[in-house]
Amino acid sequence: MTEKEVTIKNRAGIHARPAALIVQTANKFASKIHMIKDNEEINAKSIMGIITLGAGYNTNLRIRAEGPDEQEAVNALAELFERRFEEE
């Protein structure tokens, strides 16, 4: 299992477009991928799950992956957060 903490840096937080980017990226990997906010854990391959997290600007999340490509999956998703989902 691989885990990494990320911070939402784009001002609008995770809305429909960033959620879609997360799902598209997560679906490229075979690993099971989850995102955790506080005590709520959702499947990163589910757009509804991501949107219902209600993750806004400066929110800390953990990305957790388990499977054959877990490290690559976590790194790819963390890169989306670092690039602010290409919004700024």
**pLDDT per position as a tens digit, 16-30:** 999 999 999 999 999
Known active-site residue 34: no
Q: What is the pLDDT of residue 86?
A: 85
pTM > 0.85: yes or no: yes
Confidence of residue 2 (pLDDT cuts 50, 70, 90): very high
Tell me the torsion sign for CA atoms 16, 21, 22, 23.
positive
Are 33 and 44 spatial neighbours (Cβ–Cβ below 8 Å)? yes
Selected catalytic residue, list 4, 9, 15, 84: 15
